Amino acid sequence: MGSTKNYFLTLLEQCSEEQFGQDAIEAALVNGALKLTYNLPTDLHTIFDLRSNCCDAPPQGECCAKGSGRCSQCGEGAQFESNFDRFVVAHQKQCREHGDALVEVYRASGIMEEILRPMSLAQHIPQPVQDYAGTHHTS
């Protein structure tokens, strides 16, 4: 168990310094979009190598800065992106959908108005109360 956990941590650290990127890799693992071999170079290759949007093949030669190039499988011009890019986009979409669903639950329950209602902070600061022994407490 410890070696598997260490492998996951190493993989996540190699994939992204940002929490959101690491979360995207975790989500890809959970939903089955990423299958690990437990060989770090192979798994990083799977995550970061560029693949075409037409045949899921590597580029033939170099890609330009915008990610376009020639597909090595069909020979056609194609856009290329890494699985990491795909994982991040999918995770962003899932987070947005969850956020939208949460807003709808808040609206339906009436709590949205409560959340958005302006509130004076001065009304909610507890006032100190002194007991018979002279000790201060907040109410």
pLDDT digits (tens, 9 = 90+) for 114-136: 878 887 766 666 666 666 666 65
Domain ranges, ordered by start, for the chain: 2-49+81-117
SS3 128: strand
Coil, strand, or helix at residue 79? Answer: strand
Mean pLDDT over the full length of the chain: 85
pLDDT digits (tens, 9 = 90+) for 49-83: 888 878 877 788 777 766 778 887 888 888 888 89
The Cα-based distances of 2 to 22, 41, 74, 104, 123 in angstroms read: 19, 20, 44, 41, 50
Distances (CA, A) of 9 to 71, 85, 86: 33, 20, 21
138: confidence class by pLDDT, cuts 50, 70, 90: low
